[in-house]
């Protein structure tokens, strides 16, 4: 497999893994079955990766894929998309392999009713949960123990028909709040709303089968990222923790995790 190391991004709440481990040694025992990369019970790891990789790396990634993944890659017409899919899954397998101390080729995925991938064939009580999102040449991977997790990455596309899409998909309260913003703030607010909503439906696992107009998220400038309301489930919004950020210029991301009190680390996958 291609080599990799983590480079922590320059964020105020990000410290190196070594610092974290030594500081929290007494407080957090690394999960006994999570290997080379360790996750504490209150930690979330988010990895950013570029999917346009060298031919040598792609070859190694392809070799790690299951027959089903190879066949999915082959169904993309454009070789760029074939390669990005192979890199996306290859990097996922590589990172999972480091957490699980497993050969990436041995990792087996199962899929929920709406396609959310999860790990199978790993003896309990291991509960490493993950989710990923890709947009163009970039991908984000999120890992946590024992909790539901969803991540979404979107490129800020200035040609989006904000009003039409919002009117069609968003909750009435979100449409009203979006419409009350000045025109120059609408696109950014729309993308924030969309990524937070997608991260939520991916955490739940339902994907777009979950009606986007049945829950509301924050998105106004200066507002902390959170789930505001879930229709038919009073208090449900308290169950979820949301983090939103700009992983690179021109892109917006959101992460939704069940539970509260998380500590998040950002890392860069590099060859």
Ligand X SMILES: CC(C)(COP(=O)(O)OP(=O)(O)OC[C@H]1O[C@@H](n2cnc3c(N)ncnc32)[C@H](O)[C@@H]1OP(=O)(O)O)[C@@H](O)C(=O)NCCC(=O)NCCS
Give residues with Cβ within 8 angstroms of 261, minimum separation 6: 42, 241
CA triple 174-176-179, angle to 5 deg: 105
Q: Which of residues 25 and 111 has its CB atom nearest to ligand X in the complex?
A: 111
Tell me phi and psi for residue 122, to 5 degrees.
-105, 130
Nearest to 247 by CA among 200, 181, 191: 191
Give residue for tokens 């879930």: 230
CB of 196 to ligand X, least distance (A): 12
Q: Which of residues 57 and 152 has its CB atom nearest to ligand X in the complex?
A: 152
**Cβ–Cβ under 8 Å, residues 1 and 269:** no
Rounded-to-integer distance, Cα 205 and Cα 148, Å: 8
Rounded-to-integer distance, Cα 201 and Cα 115, Å: 12
Q: Which of residues 142 and 178 has its CB atom nearest to ligand X in the complex?
A: 142
Rounded-to-integer distance, Cα 92 and Cα 4, Å: 12
CB of 236 to ligand X, least distance (A): 18
CB of 192 to ligand X, least distance (A): 15
CB of 184 to ligand X, least distance (A): 26
Catalog residues that contact ligand X under the rule CB under 6 A: 85, 88-89, 114-117, 131-134, 150, 152, 198, 201-202, 205, 207-209
Q: Which of residues 39 and 255 has its CB atom nearest to ligand X in the complex?
A: 255
Q: SS3 string of 69-110?
A: HHHHHHHCCCHHHHHHHHHHHHHHHHHHHHHHCCCHHHCEEE
Q: Is 120 exposed, middle or buried (0-12, 13-18, 19+ CB in 10 A)?
A: exposed
CB of 155 to ligand X, least distance (A): 11
CB of 223 to ligand X, least distance (A): 23
Nearest to 48 by CA among 127, 143, 115, 122: 143
Q: Which of residues 62 and 134 has its CB atom nearest to ligand X in the complex?
A: 134
Q: Which of residues 205 and 247 has its CB atom nearest to ligand X in the complex?
A: 205
Give residue number: closest CB to ligand X: 207
Give residues with Cβ within 8 angstroms of 24, minimum separation 6: 40
Q: Which of residues 131 and 265 has its CB atom nearest to ligand X in the complex?
A: 131
CB of 26 to ligand X, least distance (A): 35
């Amino acid at each position: 497999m291609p080599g990799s190391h983590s480079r922590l991004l320059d964020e105020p709440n990000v410290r190196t893994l070594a610092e974290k481990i030594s500081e929290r040694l007494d407080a957090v025992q690394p999960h006994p079955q999570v290997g080379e990369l360790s996750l504490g019970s209150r930690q979330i790891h988010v990895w950013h990766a570029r999917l346009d990789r060298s031919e040598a790396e792609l070859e190694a990634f392809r070799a790690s894929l299951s027959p089903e993944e190879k066949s999915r890659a082959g169904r993309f017409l454009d070789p760029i998309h074939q390669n990005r899919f192979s890199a996306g899954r290859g990097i996922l397998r590589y990172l999972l392999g480091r957490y699980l101390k497993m050969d990436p080729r041995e990792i087996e995925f199962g899929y929920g009713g709406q396609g959310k991938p999860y790990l199978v064939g790993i003896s309990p009580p291991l509960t490493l949960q993950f989710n990923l999102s890709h947009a163009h040449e970039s991908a984000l991977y999120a890992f946590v123990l024992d909790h539901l997790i969803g991540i979404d990455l979107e490129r800020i596309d200035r040609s989006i028909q904000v009003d039409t899409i919002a009117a069609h998909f968003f909750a009435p309260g979100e449409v009203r709040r979006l419409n009350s913003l000045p025109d120059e703030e609408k696109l950014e607010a729309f993308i924030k709303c969309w990524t937070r909503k997608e991260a939520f439906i991916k955490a739940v696992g339902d994907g777009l089968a979950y009606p986007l107009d049945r829950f509301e998220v924050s998105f106004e400038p200066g507002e902390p990222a959170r789930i505001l309301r879930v229709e038919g489930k009073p208090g449900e919004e308290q169950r979820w923790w949301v983090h939103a950020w700009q992983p690179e210029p021109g892109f917006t991301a959101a992460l939704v995790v069940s539970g509260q009190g998380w500590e998040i680390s950002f890392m860069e996958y590099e060859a």
